[in-house]
Amino acid sequence: MSVGQIPNEWRKAIITPIAKGGLAFDVSNYRPISLTSVVCKIMERVVIKCLLLYLHQHKLISQQQHGFLTE
């Protein structure tokens, strides 16, 4: 693994079907759920927080771009 790459273990997911309701034998009544690495999720949050802080401090994100921001 070189610098800047995500570890292979972080990119793996366990995909499991979850019933939405209805008849159990009907495949369309299930949706896939991906169980991913907790460490990767934590790292994503750290990167997002640092990136948003930088964008706000340098006024690179406008008030009109607030749709998906938590702040």
How many domains in the chain? 1
pLDDT of residue 56: 85
Inside any domain, residue 25 = yes
How many angstroms separate the CA atoms of 36 and 41, rounded?
Answer: 8
Inside any domain, residue 66 = no
Under 8 Å between Cβ of 13 and 33 = no
Inside any domain, residue 49 = yes
Tell me the helix, strand and coil percentages in the chain, rounded to 5.
40, 20, 40
Inside any domain, residue 62 = no
Under 8 Å between Cβ of 33 and 20 = no
pLDDT in tens, the chain (71 residues): 566 788 999 989 999 999 998 898 899 999 999 999 999 999 999 998 999 889 889 988 877 777 767 65
Inside any domain, residue 51 = yes
Domain around 44: 8-57
The pTM score is 0.63
